[in-house]
Amino acid sequence: MGYSYCLHNPCHHYSLRPVGKRGQHMDTRTYWICSAIITFIVAGLVYWAVKVGNPYIAVITLLWAVGTFYLCRKRVHEVIEDERNVRINEKAAMKTLEVFVIGGVIAGTVLYAMSNQESDFTQAGLTLGIAVTGLLILYAIFQTFFGRVRENPHEK
């Protein structure tokens, strides 16, 4: 395993860091390239899994992708997101939740009400209602969890 000098803090002090399989660091550009490659691999494998009718391949592929994204992200030591991006993502997530809940409730109710002998939309309406309810329950769980973490930051 070799060593290389690298700048790793704002004071521009040089530090001797190991370079090798365990010491490899990834820059932001490489991270985004890896993310794109993983995305294309997942798209291809999930498409193939659907074509052959094997849900296990799709699930294993998605789990592999999540793990690989996590490991790649851990190797990046540059700033990928700043506080402004985090706030924008929080607002976007909240607006998406609001739009989906309102739209889902309206669409589910309309589909359920439109059901008759000729066209049965009952299942679609109930599925949307269950999805909206599940999403609201998940939101309440996360809100409670993050509220407790914020109250007591030493306890995780």
Listing DSSP states for 96-144 in one string gives HHHHHHHHHHHHHHHHHHH--SS---HHHHHHHHHHHHHHHHHHHHHHH
Token readout for 143 is 């809100």
Query: CA–CA separation, 19 vs 152, rounded Å?
Result: 38
Average pLDDT rounded to a whole number, residues 72-87: 78
Assess whether pLDDT exceeds 50 at residue 130: yes
pLDDT at 3: 42
Average pLDDT rounded to a whole number, residues 25-37: 84
Assess whether pLDDT exceeds 90 at residue 78: no
Assess whether pLDDT exceeds 90 at residue 89: no
Query: CA–CA separation, 44 vs 32, rounded Å?
Result: 18
Assess whether pLDDT exceeds 50 at residue 5: no
Assess whether pLDDT exceeds 90 at residue 107: yes
Against a cut of 0.85, is the pTM above it? no
Q: What average pLDDT does the structure give for the chain?
A: 81
Cα 31 versus chain centre, distance = 16
Each domain of the chain, given as residue ranges in start order, spans: 2-75, 83-151
Phi, psi dihedrals of residue 17, rounded to the nearest 5°: -120, 140
CB atoms inside a 10 Å sphere around CB 102: 11
Assess whether pLDDT exceeds 70 at residue 51: yes
